[in-house]
Structure 1
Amino acid sequence: MKKIGFLSFGHWSDAHGSATRSASDVLLQSIDLAVAAEELGADGAYFRVHHFAQQLGSPFPLLAAVGAKTRTIEIGTGVVDMRYENPFYMTENAGAADLIARGRLQLGISRGSPEQVIEGWRYFGYAPKPGESDADMGRRHTELFLRLLNGEGFAKPHPQPMFPNPPGLLRLEPHAPGLRDRIWWGSASNATAVWAAQQGMNLQSSTLKADETGEPFHVQQARQIRAYRDAWAAAGHTRTPRVSVSRSIFALTDDRDRAYFGRDGGGDQIGVIDNMRAVFGRSYAAEPDRLIEQLRADEGIAEADTLLLTVPNQLGVDYNAHVLDNILRHVAPALGWR
């Protein structure tokens, strides 16, 4: 059994054929797609976060709105760039969104990916300390965020407060019990996956990772997941961690599918991202029977308990619901995911 959800990058443009021509279109359709996905029986609605781009950039209003409009589906991110975040304000926002969703927030965070502008986090008021890299700064923000989520008091109360205080040091409010266990780290390397395990975070592994062995992407991803689980056990955590992978998967069941995605998904690709040699995993697009056989051989998917399907959000809510339904009805049962 696997949890199956969607991951939307939230693009908008006025290009011909785009169903999302503005930020308003993307935000409102994201809510509608989460509602539709829940009705289809999907398990998760996840959203990518990018700054300075015509994509979803401010996740918490959207997560709160999705939480208010749905009842069972997990809602999350994949991922929030921690180089841009104030851990204190983020703790309040995340707590509020999780309480609105009644404990369904699954918050994916990370050091972040290459952005649209040079050192964009500086415009948000953040800079690495002397001797730190921007990645170090993102992990420092993360460690503070995790401590704040524990809900322990740390702030000395005012002797003459506006409102009565509970005894002792004060924590940030609203506090969302259990949210600390629902934080995920988006990792592109084996080393950062091990670090995430040591910090007690769940693991998100996407469609690219550092090319560390030259093996196919799905094989390297499976090794990364096993290294993460080994590190989790060594750290002595008592709960069972969760691991997600994301994929572009399209079951071709009608003429629209074949027109959009009928070309063969191809193989892995090698590129350089942020001065790192990276391997990019293949996309899958085939008739259901053939697709099932291809997916059986994907070792990364086999290792994960959660699969996030990257969706072409600019094709609109109805078509994306159709894409999800194809996987849930025609593919997942044959693979034992349902």
Structure 2
Amino acid sequence: ELKELLKREEKVAYVGFEPSGKIHLGHALTIKRMKALQDAGFKIKIFIANLHAYLNGKGTLEELNEIADYNIKCFKALGLSEDTEFILGSDRMSPEYMVRVFQAATQITIQRAQRSMAQVSRDETHNVAEALYPVMQALDIDDLNANVAVGGMEQRKIHMLAREVLPKLGLEVPVCIHIPLIHGTDGSDKMSSSKGNFIAIDDSPKEIKNKVNKSFCPTGVVEDNPVIEMAHYYIFDEHEKMLIERPEKFGGNLELTEEELNDVFSKEELHPMDLKNTVSKYLIEKFAPAREYMETH
């Protein structure tokens, strides 16, 4: 389906974000995919889902709108081109949109809506808002004229709901692209500003170094290791080899491919602190343009 879309003259890819306290490495991974789609000829729309965040218990609309302004600045700092369109969810509310939401709601059971929200919902108690959220998200895709919907892996069930229900309303089925969720610095399943286990794109060099140094990084363990993961997504995406600088008494410098890094680390031939120091250095350099943008705009 995506290959067919690429042949079109005009095509739109969108991603939605609930307003978040800080934009971190997890968000940056998604924006990197949006930039790739932009390079492939897609018009990019970034949807700031303030109403969805409200339904998900993330704060008052006033608070969320303030955070949204900061988030948009962060997304621009990550290098999307100037023709990227930023859209606030509450600005799209129209009688026509709500009628389509009601139409879609007649096609979806409460159980199906709740199931699609399993990895997204913040509330442990189930309320009507939890069922409304995925219905609105499905209709957002059509409302934004999007051909491609991008999201984290936790969005898969909502996107599959959209692929089921939109054709029933005579609307185009979107292609869905899902981005891996990166581990928090504490080793938990998901980096999150609410959990405090994140590295923000506008953190100072000192903050990045401190956060990486405190990160969960068990000796000899490669799988589900946040620091190894940072190297995978933010160093080896652009560098064939990673330079690890260390004193001669500790074995001297190493220049490693990703495969070699995983090998020496799993054999406990590389100390976690040497890995952390290296990853910090690369992250500080990688996000220098974003920090500069945030300071000057």
Q: Using structure 2 for the length normalisation, give the TM-score.
A: 0.31
Greater share of residues in helix: 2
Greater share of residues in strand: 1
Q: Using structure 1 for the length normalisation, give the TM-score.
A: 0.29
